Amino acid sequence: MIQLYAFVRGLRELPDTDLKTVVLAHALTAVVGPAGGDERDDVVRHGLLVQALAESADAVLPARFGERFADTAALIAAVEERCGELQQRLAEVDGCVELAVRVGRARAEAGTRGLDGSAYMRARLRAITADAAAAEALHALLRRRSRDTVVTPPVASQLLHDACYLVERDRVDEFARSVETYASAHPELSLVCTGPWAPASFAGER
């Protein structure tokens, strides 16, 4: 039993001796390793090895954890019809990493004491609208500094924006500085930028 970790292009070295490469149709290269028995440890190991592959290859498409096959022949049969598509996706993420940006509200409830219900709701609406506009302006700025983006619909009441950006490796510092500069200019927002990560958000169906 083998586990699929990622598809890669321009791999310089394997980060672990248990890993091996399998060359598929269209010269697509898959990185696989023996499937383990402890799922919790395997999840951690999977994430660490995918991240290591991102640092030792020009392009990487991470596979979801749990993609297991009986042997390399089973892997080849399962992926055969998608090799061309996967090569195209590798070309799209070539030279890039993923950065995540999340934006929430940092504004304290100031200036609303003593207001009646209607006035309070109007003040809150103005604040929420302004925050949303500021978050959208940040997204527009970051889109210009990235090759692609995936936006996740907000899932928390204080979350204004949640997106992943596909950024060229040599522009990561520029991207991070843009987030820092915007955060300084907008103290009403709480901005968090994480990464760089392997571009998992850009590996599957959109």
Q: Averaged over 130-149, what is the pLDDT?
A: 89
Q: Give me the pLDDT at residue 206, please.
A: 44
- Total domains, the chain: 2
Is the previous residue joined to 196 through a cis bond, with omega within 30 degrees of 0? Answer: yes
For residue range 37-83, list pLDDT tens digits in order. 666 778 888 999 999 999 999 999 999 888 899 999 999 999 988 89
Considering Cα of 120, then 123, then 127, then 128, what sign does the dihedral take?
Answer: positive
Measured between alpha carbons, how far is 24 from 78 in angstroms, rounded to an integer? 11
| Domain-terminating residue out of 68, 93, 118 | 93
Q: What is the pLDDT of residue 150?
A: 94
Residue 50 structural domain: 2-93
Distance CA 62, CA 51 (A): 9
This prediction's pTM = 0.83
**Does 60 share its domain with 76?**
yes
| CATH number, domain with residue 165 | 3.30.70
* pLDDT tens sequence across 148-191: 999 987 665 567 889 999 999 999 999 999 999 999 998 888 89
User: Tokens in use for 34?
Assistant: 């023996």
Question: In the prediction, which pLDDT does 128 show?
Answer: 59
